[in-house]
Structure 1
Amino acid sequence: MMVVGLTGGIGSGKSTIATMFKELGVPVYNSDERAKHLMNTSKKIKKQLIKLLGKKAFVDDQLNRGYIAKKVFNDVDLLEQLNGIVHPVVRKDFIKWTKKQTTQYVIQETALLFENNAQNLYDSVILITAPEELRIERVLSRDESSREQIIARMNNQLDDKAKLELAKYVIENIDLESTASKVVEVHEAILADC
């Protein structure tokens, strides 16, 4: 079974494209959703996060995402420590999940694949791109982040130019119709490699 990474900057449309692959019958592991789940349910992670970020990291036994985001997005060292706690647990969870799948390939949707220098963990990588202004507009319309917060988050990610050299497949996600046909094209190319 091939393991494919799917990545792209904030607002590029990773989840939209992951859904398109799911509709083609490809199992997709959403790293962000699983990380949130594991941060809320793993006693070990909770203990480490409280030690790192303080008791305010959880409110009513649930992850205080707003508080954590404010603390880590302008502090690269703190963000690295947070990732050092969460990413190894997510990786183990993904491997366990992969063993239960029976398809020719699976996808792991993960935002910081290249930033974490994890491209070698995959047989191939799909990069989702979109113009920066469109990405900002998408994030502004979906959550309560300010333009400044979104740009700060973008600055914590590699730019697309650097990622283009590392990805095997690139899907530019501007309009859904051409994106959907590109997803089918990439899907068929991956199946041909399996």
Structure 2
Amino acid sequence: MTTIGITGGIGSGKSMVSALLRVYGVPVYDADRESKRLLVTSPTIRRGLTALLGPEIYRPDGTLDRARMAALIFADADLLARVNAIIHPAVGDDFDDWRKRLTVPLCAMESAILFESGFDRRADVRLTVYAPEAIRLQRVIARDGAAEADVRRRMQSQWTDERKAALSDAVITNDGLSALIPQVEALLNRWL
């Protein structure tokens, strides 16, 4: 089975490309969504985060105190790396389990941090979805209702599209002018 790793900056259109792949029958694992699920359901992650950040990182109802965790890890790069060292292997294992259950010739993993997390090593081909920064900024402000300064800060914390594209086997341009469907179809024809 061929595995596509899909990445791109915030607002680039990763989810749109993933949705198109699903329409063509390609199962897509959404690493960002699944990591949120695993933060609550994985005993391994729960033990690791509790040991590292203290038991109050989980509320009495069992949900993660995301605001508390964000305040701790985004102020301390070393702590962020240690949290990621707990979460990323669990997400990778979950992806491996998911992929083993499939009986299709092609599947995909969507992750904003495909390269940063090491998830790219689980992919046979790497795909970056590219959109110019101004378009990405507009999309995220409209989608999330976020302030421009907050969106720019989030963008600056991610690898650049150029850096991701340099490590990728293919790039899809999602600038509002280039049609996505023909680009996705061309890649499917190449990889199937």
After superposition, the Cα gap between the structure-2 partners of 1:73 and 1:5, relative to the gap in structure 1 and judged at 3 Å, is same
Map residues 1-194 of structure 1 onto 2, 5 A cutoff. Answer: 1-59=1-59, 60-143=61-144, 145-175=146-176, 178-191=179-192
Counterpart residue type for residue 99 of structure 2: T
Relative to 1, partners in 2 of residues 1:42 and 1:15: Cα closer, same or farther, differing over 3 Å?
A: same
CA distance in 1, matches of 2:14, 2:114: 12
Q: How much does 1:74 deviate?
A: 4.4
What does the per-residue CA deviation read over 1:41-67, in whole Å, with 9 as the maximum and x for residues that have no partner?
A: 123312322333344533332123333
Q: Identify the range of structure 1 (161-170 vs 55-64) with the bigger mean alpha-carbon deviation.
A: 55-64
Q: Is the 8 A contact 2:88 2:117 kept in 1?
A: no
Deviation at 1:121, TM superposition (A): 2.7
The whole-number CA distance in structure 2 between the counterparts of 1:53 and 1:147 is: 30
- Kept in 1, the 8 Å contact 2:137–2:151? The answer is yes
Q: Residues 39 and 186 (structure 1 numbering): CA distance in 2 closer, same or farther, change over 3 Å?
A: same
Tell me the secondary structure at the aligned position of residue 159 of structure 2.
coil
Q: Which runs of 5+ in 1 are unaligned?
A: none
How much is the aligned-residue C-alpha RMSD, in angstroms? 2.0
Q: For the residues of structure 1 that align with 2:112 and 2:44, how far apart are their CA atoms?
A: 23
Quote the Cα distance in structure 2 between the aligned partners of 1:120 and 1:37: 22
Name structure 2 gaps, 5 residues minimum.
Answer: none
SS at match of 1:6: strand
Give % identity.
37
How far apart in 2 are the matches of 1:68 and 1:135? 26
Contact 2:8 2:128 in 1 (8 A): yes
- Partner Cα distance (1:14, 1:68) in 2: 26
Q: Distance in 1 between matches of 2:126 and 2:173?
A: 14
- Check conservation: 1:73, 1:153, Cα contact below 8 A: no
**Alpha-carbon distance change, 21 to 75 in structure 1, aligned in 2, over 3 angstroms:** same
- Structure-2 separation of matches of 1:25 and 1:45: 31
Normalised to the residue count of structure 2, the TM-score between the two structures is: 0.89
SS for the counterpart of 2:107 is strand
- Report the alpha carbon displacement of residue 119 of structure 1 after superposing the two structures with TM: 2.9
- Aligned equivalents of 2:79 and 2:128: distance in 1? 26
Asked if structure 2 preserves the Cα contact closer than 8 Å seen for 1:74 and 1:152, the reply is no
Q: Distance in 2 between matches of 1:93 and 1:142?
A: 28
Deviation at 1:144, TM superposition (A): 5.0
Aligned residues: 191
Deviation of residue 120 (structure 1)?
A: 3.2
Q: 1:32 to 1:24 in 2, by over 3 A?
A: same
TM-score by length of 1: 0.88
